C-alpha cells in the first residue's frame, strides 16, 4: 500500500487523484466528478478540489481512465504516408491534423518509404497503441491483414492508394483522368512523339497514370507501342539519366510526361543539360514549389492533397460516430495548370 506520504524532495512524482482527494479532503470519486465535469458536486467542494488539483499540477491520466471507461477511446489516430518529409504527404498530414484537433484527437504519423514491411510494422505499432482510427497510404499488394481489426470496428480509410483484399473507404486522386488530361493537352499542341517517365511499377497510382496517359494517346491514333515508357524511376537522378538517353537517341520525343514530383525534377535537369528545355514540351504530375518561376514555367497536373487528407479524416470521424454506410471510393479530381512548358509546340516538324 502506497503511503501517500509528504512530498518527496527533488524529482516530484506525478500526482494522482488520490493525492488530490487527500489534499482536498474528499473521496477519489468526488475528484473524478469534478475533473470530468460531472453534475452533483457542491460548488464549494468543487472549488476545493480544483484548488488542490492546481496546487499539485495534477493532470488526469487518460490511459488509466480508459481502462475502465465504456467507450475506450484513446483520442488518437494513426497516419501512414509515403514520408513525412515530402510536400505531398505534408499537405495530407496537415489536413488530417486540422480535422483531428477539432475532435481533440492527436495524430501519430509514420513514414512508409514505399516499403511493404514498414507498412506492416507501422500499422502494428499504431494498433498496439490502440489508435481509434487509421488513415493509410500503402505499399503492400494486399491489406487483408487488416480484416480482424476492421471486424473489431476500427475505422480504416485508405488515402492516395486503394486497398486490396479489404472492404473499406478510400480517398484517391483521379490518376487515370489526370494523366489522360496531360496527354490530351500535349496532343492538342500537335505533338506526335511522346515519352513517358514513370514511377515504380509496383505502385498502383503509377500504373493508373501510365494507363491514363497511354490510353489517351491511343484514342488519338498514336501508335502506343512506339512510345518509350520508362518506369521504376523513383528519384531525380534515375529520371534524369533516363531522359538523357532518350534525348541523345535517334528519335527524341517532342513531348514528355513525368508521372511524379521527383521524376519531374530529374526530367527538368536533363532538358536543361541538353539545352532542350525551350523546345521540348513537359507536363509533370504533382505540383512543385517554384514551378512558376522556372523558364519556361512548369505545366503540371496538380493533385489536391489537402482535400485527400481532409476527406479521409472526415470519413474516419464519421465512422467513429457510427456512420455505417457502405465503403466508398472517393475520387478527388486533378487540375491542369498551364505555365508554359506544356504549351511548347513540337519542334523540327
Partner DNA sequence: CTGAAAGCGCTAACAG
Partner DNA sequence: CTGTTAGCGCTTTCAG
By CB under 8 A, name the binding residues for a second copy.
11-14, 57, 59-64, 66-67, 74, 76, 83-87, 89-91, 93-94, 97, 101, 104, 106-111, 125-130, 148-149, 151-153, 265, 268-269, 272, 288-295
Instruction: Select the span of 35-43, 261-269, 285-293, 312-320 touching DNA (CB under 7 A).
Output: 35-43
Read off the DSSP letter of residue 260: S
- Closer to DNA by CB, 46 or 244: give it: 46
State the angle between helix axes of 204-219 and 175-188 in degrees (0 to 180), rounded to the nearest 10: 40
124 binds DNA (CB under 7 A): no
Q: Which residue has the cell 518561376?
A: 293
Query: Which residue among 12, 28, 117, 338 contacts DNA (CB under 7 A)?
Result: 28
Q: Which residue has the cell 488518437?
A: 76
5 binds DNA (CB under 7 A): no
331 CB-contact burial (10 Å; exposed 0-12 / middle 13-18 / buried 19+): middle
Q: Which does 136 bind (CB under 5 to 8 A by kind): a second copy, DNA, none?
A: none
2 binds DNA (CB under 7 A): yes
- Closer to DNA by CB, 70 or 325: give it: 70
What's the CA gap between 4 and 210, in Å, rounded?
67
Interacting positions 56-75 with DNA (CB under 7 A): 60-61, 64-65, 67-70
What's the CA gap between 172 and 25, in Å, rounded?
57
- Closer to a second copy by CB, 204 or 264: give it: 264
336 CB-contact burial (10 Å; exposed 0-12 / middle 13-18 / buried 19+): middle
What's the CA gap between 248 and 107, in Å, rounded?
48
17 binds DNA (CB under 7 A): yes
Smallest distance from a second copy to CB 221, Å: 34
Measured in degrees and rounded to the nearest 5, phi and psi for residue 103 equal -100, 10
- Closer to DNA by CB, 68 or 152: give it: 68
What's the CA gap between 151 and 326, in Å, rounded?
14
What's the CA gap between 159 and 89, in Å, rounded?
10
- Closer to a second copy by CB, 124 or 188: give it: 124
What's the CA gap between 227 and 196, in Å, rounded?
7
Which residues does 163 contact at the CB level (< 8 Å), separation at least 6?
138, 143, 146, 170
Smallest distance from DNA to CB 6, Å: 16
- Closer to a second copy by CB, 1 or 293: give it: 293
Task: Give residues in contact with DNA (CB under 7 A).
Answer: 1-2, 14, 16-18, 26-30, 32-33, 35-36, 39-42, 44-46, 60-61, 64-65, 67-70
Amino acid at each position: 500500500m502506497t503511503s501517500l506520504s509528504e512530498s518527496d524532495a527533488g524529482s516530484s512524482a506525478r500526482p494522482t487523484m488520490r493525492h488530490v482527494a487527500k489534499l482536498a479532503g474528499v473521496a477519489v470519486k468526488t475528484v473524478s466528478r469534478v475533473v470530468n465535469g460531472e453534475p452533483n458536486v457542491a460548488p464549494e467542494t468543487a472549488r476545493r478540489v480544483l484548488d488542490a488539483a492546481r496546487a499539485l499540477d495534477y493532470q488526469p491520466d487518460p490511459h488509466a481512465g480508459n481502462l475502465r471507461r465504456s467507450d475506450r477511446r484513446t483520442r488518437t489516430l494513426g497516419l501512414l504516408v509515403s514520408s513525412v518529409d515530402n510536400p505531398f504527404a505534408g499537405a495530407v498530414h496537415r489536413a488530417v491534423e486540422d480535422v483531428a484537433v477539432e475532435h481533440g484527437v492527436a495524430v501519430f504519423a509514420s513514414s512508409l518509404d514505399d516499403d511493404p514491411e514498414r507498412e506492416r510494422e507501422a500499422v502494428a505499432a499504431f494498433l498496439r497503441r490502440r489508435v481509434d482510427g487509421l488513415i493509410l497510404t500503402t505499399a503492400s499488394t494486399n491489406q487483408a491483414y487488416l480484416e480482424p481489426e476492421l471486424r473489431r470496428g476500427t475505422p480504416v480509410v485508405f488515402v492516395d492508394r486503394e486497398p486490396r483484399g479489404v472492404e473499406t473507404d478510400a480517398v484517391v486522386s483521379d490518376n487515370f483522368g489526370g494523366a489522360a488530361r496531360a496527354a490530351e493537352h500535349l496532343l492538342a499542341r500537335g505533338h506526335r512523339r511522346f515519352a513517358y517517365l514513370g514511377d515504380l511499377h509496383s505502385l498502383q497510382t503509377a500504373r493508373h497514370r501510365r494507363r491514363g496517359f497511354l490510353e489517351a494517346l491511343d484514342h488519338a491514333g498514336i501508335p502506343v507501342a512506339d512510345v518509350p515508357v520508362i518506369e521504376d524511376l523513383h528519384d531525380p537522378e534515375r529520371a534524369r539519366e533516363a531522359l538523357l538517353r532518350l534525348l541523345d537517341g535517334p528519335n527524341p520525343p517532342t513531348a514528355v510526361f513525368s508521372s511524379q514530383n521527383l521524376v519531374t525534377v530529374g526530367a527538368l535537369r536533363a532538358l536543361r543539360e541538353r539545352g532542350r528545355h525551350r523546345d521540348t514540351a513537359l507536363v509533370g504530375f504533382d505540383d512543385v514549389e517554384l514551378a512558376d518561376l522556372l523558364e519556361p514555367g512548369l505545366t503540371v497536373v496538380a493533385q489536391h492533397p489537402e482535400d485527400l487528407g481532409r476527406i479521409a479524416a472526415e470519413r474516419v470521424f464519421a465512422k467513429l460516430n457510427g456512420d455505417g454506410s457502405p465503403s466508398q471510393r472517393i475520387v478527388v479530381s486533378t487540375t491542369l495548370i498551364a505555365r508554359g512548358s506544356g504549351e511548347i509546340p513540337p519542334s523540327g516538324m
